[in-house]
Amino acid sequence: LVLDEVHVVPAQMFRTVISNTRSHCKLGLSATLVREDNLIGDLNWLIGPKLYEANWQDLVEEGHLARVQCKEVWCPMTPEFYREYLSTSHGGTKKLLCYMNPNKIRACQYLIEAHERAQHKIIVFSDNLYTLEFYAKRFKRPYIDGKTTEDERIKVLDNFRLPSGYNTVFLSKIGDIAIDLPMASVIIQVSSHYGSRRQEAQRLGRILRKKPGQRISDGINAFFYSLVSEDTVEAVYSTWRQQYLVQQGYAYKVTRDIGSLNSSDADGDDSISVSAAMGKGGSVDANVKKAAAKGLFYSKLEDQQHLLATILSLDSSVGNEEHINIDNKTKATSKSKPEARATRVEGSLSALSGGGEGAGVYMEFEKAQGEQKSSRLISFRRTFKKS
C-alpha cells in the first residue's frame, strides 16, 4: 500500500481507512511531514518509522530543485485602517482589514508588474475569498477558487502554462496541493491559513520544480513573497509559518523596501519604499505624489477611505477563510446537468458478503423493502433450520 501525502493519515477518516485496509507493506511519501495538531508521531504505528528524509537545500545544491529567494514584505497599515483594526472586536473584520490594507494591495501590484515585465509566471495565493476576488478583479487577472467549474479551471490553467498565455493567476487554498504548474517561478502570498507551517511549505513547493536549462551554478531563479500587514496578528502567524522551511535551510529576509527585493524585480533606479512611499515616514503629500507617479492603486486618501467604508459595511463573516466542500468541488450551473452523487447507507460487512438480510439470493433479485420476500428464500431458510 503506497500512500502519497502521508501526513494526512493521522486525521480521523484516513486513520479509519488505514485500520480497515489489509496490506503486506505500507509505504508513505510526503514532502511536508508536519502537522499543527502534534499527531505526526502517530505515523510511527499507523504506517511505520521514518526511513529516509532528504534535506531541501541539499536537493537545491545538487540541481534537483529551483533556487528560491524568500522574502517577507512588511506592509505598514495606513492610519485609518490601523485605527479601525485596533477598535473593532470582530475577528473577521480584523483579518479583512489586514488583507485589504492599501499598502499590501500596492506592494502586490508592484511585484506583479515587475515580474511580468521579466516574463515570469506568477501565482498569487489568498485563503480569503473576498480578498481573492477583489484583488483579481482590481488587477484584471483570472482567479480560481472552490466554486470555479472544472471546465473553467482547466481553461485558465492551460492558458497559464502557455508561454504567451496568462502571466499571473490568483488561487485560493485549492492550489496548495495536487496542482502541476512547473513553469511558475513567483509566489505572492496575500492571506494564509493562520500559522500553518505545512501550507507555507506546500505553497513554496509550487515553484520548486527545476527550471528549464537550470544549472547548478545558476543563481536565484524563483521568488517567494509573503505580504504581511505590519503590527498585526499576521506578523505573529508569519513567524510560526516559516519554522518548517527554516529547519530545511531556507532563510527569510524581511524588507520594507520593494525596490531592494532583487535587482531583477525593480528595473533599475525606479524603486519604491513601502515604508516611505506608501504611508510611513516623510511628508504625506510627498508619499502620495510618489505613489501616484508610479500608477499604484489607492494613492489618494479618498480612495483609501472609500475602500475602508466598503470593508466596514461587510458582514464580519466575509473575513473568514474559504471552506471547501470536497463532496461537490464543481459548481453546477443552470445549464449543466444534475451532478451524480453517491449515496452512503449504514451497513455491515456480513450484509455486504451475503450473510445478512437477503442471504441466499443475489442483490439484483432481492425484493425492495416492504415487498413480499421470495418464496424460494423462505423455503430455503425453512429447510436450513430443519437440518
The pLDDT, as a whole number, for residue 319 is 74
Mean pLDDT is highest, among 37-41, 302-306, 352-356, for 302-306
The pLDDT, as a whole number, for residue 290 is 52
pLDDT 10s digits, 326-383? 433 333 333 444 444 444 445 554 444 444 444 433 333 344 444 454 455 555 455 5
d(CA 3, CA 48): 12
Q: Long-range contacts: 38-42, Cβ < 8 Å, 24+?
A: 39/10, 40/7, 40/10, 42/9, 42/10, 42/15
Average pLDDT for residues 218-228, to the nearest whole number?
91
d(CA 108, CA 227): 8
**DSSP annotation of 45:** H
The pLDDT, as a whole number, for residue 386 is 52
pLDDT 10s digits, 172-218? 999 988 788 999 999 999 999 888 999 999 999 999 998 877 776 67
DSSP alpha helix (H) spans, the chain: 12-20, 43-46, 56-61, 79-87, 91-99, 102-117, 129-139, 150-161, 197-205, 233-241, 243-247, 263-266, 284-293, 301-312, 349-352, 375-386
> Helix, strand, or coil here: 61?
helix
Cβ burial, residue 317 (10 Å; 0-12/13-18/19+): exposed
> Helix, strand, or coil here: 273?
strand
For β-strands 68-75 and 222-229, DSSP reports them as: parallel
Q: How far is CA 120 from CA 63, 106, 202, in A?
A: 20, 19, 20
State the chain's mean pLDDT as an integer.
79
Q: How far is CA 365 from CA 30, 136, 200, 345, in A?
A: 46, 56, 54, 19
What residues pair up with 254 in beta bridges, in sequence order?
Answer: 72
For β-strands 186-189 and 122-125, DSSP reports them as: parallel
Q: What are phi and psi of 47, to 5 degrees?
A: -120, -55
d(CA 158, CA 181): 9
> Helix, strand, or coil here: 196?
coil
d(CA 1, CA 23): 6
Average pLDDT for residues 6-14, to the nearest whole number?
91
Angle between helices 129-139 and 102-117 (to 10 degrees): 50
d(CA 122, CA 183): 9
pLDDT 10s digits, 132-154? 999 999 999 999 999 999 999 99
Is the pLDDT confidence value at 271 over 60? no
- Which one, of 263, 267, 258, 264, lies nearest residue 291 by Cα? 258
Return the beta strands (E) in 18-82 as ranges: 27-29, 68-75
Question: Buried b vs exposed e over 324-362: b needs ≥16 C-beta within 10 Å?
Answer: eeeeeeeeeeeeeeeeeeeeeeeeeeeeeeeeeebeeee
For β-strands 2-4 and 186-189, DSSP reports them as: unpaired
Average pLDDT for residues 77-103, to the nearest whole number?
94
Q: What nine digits make up the cell of 248? A: 530545511
Task: Name the residue with higher pLDDT: 300 or 219.
Answer: 300
CB 98 within 8 A of CB 85: yes
Q: What nine digits make up the cell of 91? A: 475577528
- Residue with C-alpha cell 509573503? 226
Tally of helices (H runs) and strands (E runs) in the chain: 16, 9
